[in-house]
A and B are shown apart, each in its own frame.
Chain A
Amino acid sequence: MDSTSKTGAAVAVLTGVSKRYGKVLAVDGVNLEVRHGEVLALLGPNGAGKTTSVNMLLGLSRPSSGNALLFGRSPRDVGARRRIGAVLQGAQLGGHARVGEVIRLYSGYYPEPMPLAEILRSAGLEDLEKRPVLKLSGGQKQRLLFALAVCGNPELLFLDEPTAGLDVESRRGFWNRLREFKRAGRSIVLTTHYLEEADALADRIVVINRGRVVAEGTPAEIKRSVAQRHIRCVTALNETQIRRLPGVNSVRQDGKRLDIVAAHPEGMLLEMLKLDPALHDLEITGARLEEAFLALTENRPEEQAA
């Protein structure tokens, strides 16, 4: 019995990890914990340091400082690598080899691979076993990468931008395969810059920007912690009074009404109603996840880190 296979235990950990390329600090003091049985999304814009972080957990890259552990061991340890699978970003499969041959080759690296038929089914490649890889479409190649990542029956699956460049239908199909994989009790680390994807799949989201973790929580928490709500109302209060209230980001006169942008509208409103019971024409609109994300990654990330 392995202590790292308990539900909730950390299966992969980055502790104070930084990675420097010349003068560029790609990853800057990241702490990250992947727990058993969860889907963790690393969310952030391109160049935020998601791939570099994942590569250090995969042993593809060595931290300049800090520590990366997979199942309590070095990511270079073959015993640790036998328990993971990965879809890497930008992997280009090709060549005359057939789908089944490639899968058999990679399956052979693992002590307890899934049967070929099951791999083909779980990746949606049932009819393509004999197809040469170079004749596969882009979506089929991506499914083959998924097949190679799961063929070893991994406990922990890494997916680096797995649906980049896929059409909507293929993306949905892929999400379903991931959910099925997760139901089998496995852990998944997913990097993406698609908010929709992180929201649809993840139990927990870690937002990374400029090499740092700027927010962490469930999709709902992330949305709540950063959501900029617009409160519009007619009130006798002036801008100065409102700015004194906690959680106000901006106040703007919009015709007769004030347009207030705030992180926690409920508390705000309570205070405002105490000061001005005659407040009326109230309207609150929530920011969409996209806006929340932009707020996190583009707008003073230090101040808004939850």
Chain B
Amino acid sequence: MNTVAVKHWTWRDTFGVYLREAGFQFWGLVRMPGFALPTLLFPTMFYLFFGLIFAKGSGNSAAVYMLASYSTFGIMAPALFGFGMGVAMERDHGILAMKRVAPMPPMAYLAAKAAMAMLFALVIALLLFTLAGLFGGVTLPRAQWILLMLALIAGTAPFSALGLVIGLRAGGQASAAIINLIYLPMSFLSGLWVPLQFFPLWLQELARIFPAYHLSRIALGIVHQGGDGHYLAHVIYLLMFTVVCLWLARLGWRRIQDR
């Protein structure tokens, strides 16, 4: 051990770390039924009941409308819970500290979590698309299917960022409670379960503060179901929301590092 010839670290090694981290987190989530089942099943069941069975008489457009709103609802959970609870639990259990001591690039950890949120969004969207196509008689131009899918995958970003802020601030138990307190009311108040036009006007106005509202407007617009056409405004809102959350997360991370 007297001669220390430190092997040169290449971008390939870094890439390998990113891949292994993502693979490790993937298997961690898949093997955790408490995470994978509800995040995949809830939006699927909701859509099956409210979008397909109860809305049977109301024609094709209800099934399309709810496809957009319930898939928006669906992709929020893996982002919020995967990031928020994941980070909080790993912090509680000292796993984050182990990773900070190990020469792991912090971005590998975050990128893996972001990728998992996107992957679960993809699966949830595919499940709902399949239900819509098979049982709801939903037919959309191929471009709309693809655009909706892309919007849903990219749409995990603000929720992943929000989850990260919560996970870096709150402990494991608290973060579960906080995320549920945000996730469910926000979904409802953004019109993901019941269309907003059934709400009093002031609640319709209030919805504008929620990222879920803006993502759902984009999704609805893609499938021509009452989108307002202000795509740019919604995208800008979501980007700003994401940036603010990442900035807050950075503060939280600094606080942890300086502890």
Contacts and interface: CB of A to CB of B under 8 A. Distances in A.
B22 to A, nearest CB: 11
Q: Which of A7, A89, A96, A148 has the most CB atoms of chain B within a 10 A radius of its CB?
A: A96
Interface string A91-123: 111111100011011101111100000000000
B103 A78 contact: yes
Contacts, number: 99
Contacts of A96: 27-28, 31-32
Interface residues of B, number: 32
Contacts of A104: 20
Nearest to A76: B257
Contacts of A7: 2
Contacts of A17: none
Interface stretch (A53-61, A220-228, A269-277, A285-293): A53-61
B97 A2 contact: no
Nearest to B10: A111
B208 interface: no
A88 interface: yes
A221 B79 CA distance: 57
Interface string B88-127: 0000011101101111110000000000000000000000
B24 A101 contact: yes
Q: Which of B8, B17, B104 has the most CB atoms of chain A within a 10 A radius of its CB?
A: B104
A111 B13 contact: yes
A96 B32 CA distance: 7
Contacts of B2: 5-7, 185
Interface in B163-204: none
Contacts of B21: 105
A1 B2 CA distance: 8
Contacts of A62: 257-259
A148 B98 contact: yes
A1 B177 CA distance: 54
Given A101-B27, A111-B13, A155 B94 contact: no
Given A60-B97, A62-B258, A101-B24, A155 B1 contact: yes
B1 A5 contact: yes
A91 B1 contact: no
A91 B4 contact: no
B48 to A, nearest CB: 29
A82 B6 contact: yes
20 contacts: A5-B1, A5-B4, A62-B258, A78-B105, A81-B103, A83-B6, A84-B101, A91-B94, A91-B98, A95-B28, A95-B32, A101-B24, A101-B27, A105-B24, A108-B16, A109-B103, A109-B104, A111-B13, A112-B7, A152-B103
Interface of B: 1-4, 6-9, 13, 16-17, 20-21, 24, 27-28, 31-32, 93-95, 97-98, 100-105, 257-259
Given A101-B24, A152-B103, 19 more contacts: A5-B1, A58-B101, A62-B257, A78-B105, A79-B6, A81-B101, A81-B103, A82-B103, A86-B98, A86-B101, A91-B95, A94-B93, A96-B32, A97-B24, A105-B20, A106-B98, A108-B16, A111-B7, A152-B102
